[in-house]
Amino acid sequence: MLKSFYLGVLVLIVVCVICLMTNSWVYIYQISGVIGGVSLIACGISIGAFQSGGGAGYGGDLVSDIMSQTKGSQDTRVKWSTRFLLFGLPNAIAASIYIYIVFLT
């Protein structure tokens, strides 16, 4: 699981290097914000947070119907959503800090 977090930190470092090379820190907001947002949305989709109890499926199983899923299917779904969350978290935090510093101060 920590590989996803380290990969997210590595992507954030690459974005910071790009910002240093171009001397434009707006890329933290643009690139890291998009990466963080897409990762968090993918986390919500994979865990089934955006469902209203309908019949949307993930991997052949109904995400909203916990009783019809096997234990392995539930574990895989939770594992992937955790990976998405850990990957996007450093980028979302960096974009949030940038927004706070630039726009709110």
61-92, pLDDT tens digit by residue? 555 555 667 888 888 888 999 999 999 999 99
Instruction: Decide if pLDDT at 60 tops 80.
Output: no
DSSP letter, residue 25 = T
| Contact criterion met (CB below 8 Å) for 15 and 88 | no
Instruction: Decide if pLDDT at 97 tops 90.
Output: yes
Mean pLDDT of 84-103: 93
Transcribe 33-73 into DSSP letters: HHHHHHHHHHHHHHHTTT--SS--EETTEESS-GGGS-HHH
Q: What is the mean pLDDT of the chain?
A: 85
Instruction: Decide if pLDDT at 59 tops 60.
Output: no
| Contact criterion met (CB below 8 Å) for 20 and 64 | no
What pLDDT score was predicted for residue 20? 94
pTM attached to this predicted model: 0.79
